[in-house]
Structure 1
Amino acid sequence: MPNVFCPSVVRRTLLSVAALVLAGSAHAQVTAPVTLLDRTLSHMDLGVSGTGQFTNTVTGTNYLGVSLTQKPSQTLGALVTVRYTKSPYLGAEFNYGYARYTQNFSSYITGGAQTNASEYTVGYVAHTPKIFGISTFASAGAGSLAFRATPGGGQGLPTQARAAYYYDAGVEDSIISSHFGIRAQFRQVFFLAPDFGQNYLTIKQRQITTEPAVGFYIHF
């Protein structure tokens, strides 16, 4: 019967145990557990799109009884969206939009007021069934629009924030890999026409900015 306490046997046993420990450690490093951050990021995507900005013309009467027409110029803008999708019908998004245009008034301000408009909104988003293999989505939410007259051509008007509401519908499809895709959408944003805090510009009419948008998204 072999002597199990023979030094050579003990040495070989210890080396075998050490090798198994090292192999297990290496395997644990390769197959590290998924963290909460990993799981969270796997539900998120970042979208960047270029938008058209088409806002309707409105007419009203100010406190002096003077009829005033407000006509924003058409322009291009940008939209950045961060989404968290828990399940196809359960998701949330944050939007930041930017556009620069001229706010034209029929009276009081000659040449209009150059304005930077920034959108900050949050909303609910649902990914609806695919159409011809392309993913579709719809969203709606609310937030704020900040109107900032530019230093050079803003006629000295102060910054003003308005409550804003929006809805959105579109399509998207991954290309190259599941982490990168293209997105096309149609949005409308509703808000009270800005008056920059000046009562002679107040007409209390609601405006709608229509925003067709095309861009890309990155899925984490």
Structure 2
Amino acid sequence: MRIAVIDYGMGNLRSVQKALEHVAPHAQVTLAHTADAFYESDAVVFPGQGSFADCIAALTAQQLTDAVRWAAANRPFLGICVGLQLLFAHSEEGDVAGLGILPGKVVRFPKNEMFATGHAHLKVPHMGWNTITVTRDHPVLPTSETGKRYYFVHSYVVVPEDDAVTLATCEYGIPFTCAVATGNLIATQFHPEKSGETGLALLSRFVTWAQTFSVSSTQ
């Protein structure tokens, strides 16, 4: 099995690659920086770290935007953190357009929002461990994952136009979408590669799920 980790100079690439190699020792996990590498893959992972504007600029400079759109439509596809956010149409961070694969926007956590206790304002970025609620079943993120803790680092959240794409939610002062899924695509705001055994189990389920797809080597 060939898994392409999109390499556009942004993101925690080596950690993602090593985590995938750990859960899929017989797979070929490569850092992919050309469109051909996506076309030749059996699954694609789209990590991201840093600002939305810098990430979309890096993708554009490497002429990878169309290839990412193609992979999101034609391969088992996992987006992580900014790799989730970039799938949407627009971000407040830098006031820039995203890939437009999913309708919706990316917005900042409200500056004045308070925790449910009412005793403290949010500290942004949202950094550290938090529990999730899975809103519908999925092979990669089943409802049994509700209550599990994953690791987050982000200041912005996605707001899908279509609530049906939301797969899981989290709460940090406000409830927000922390995972989406549609067709062959799934993406998470949290970092599975930083989430210990729970995150590794998610990556293992992604690999198993990806193997169920019939993959063509043609463009």
Which bracket does the TM-score occupy, shorter chain normalised? Answer: under 0.3
Structure number having the greater strand percentage: 1
TM-score by length of 2: 0.21
Structure number having the greater helix percentage: 2
TM-score by length of 1: 0.21
Q: Highest Rg: 1 or 2? A: 1
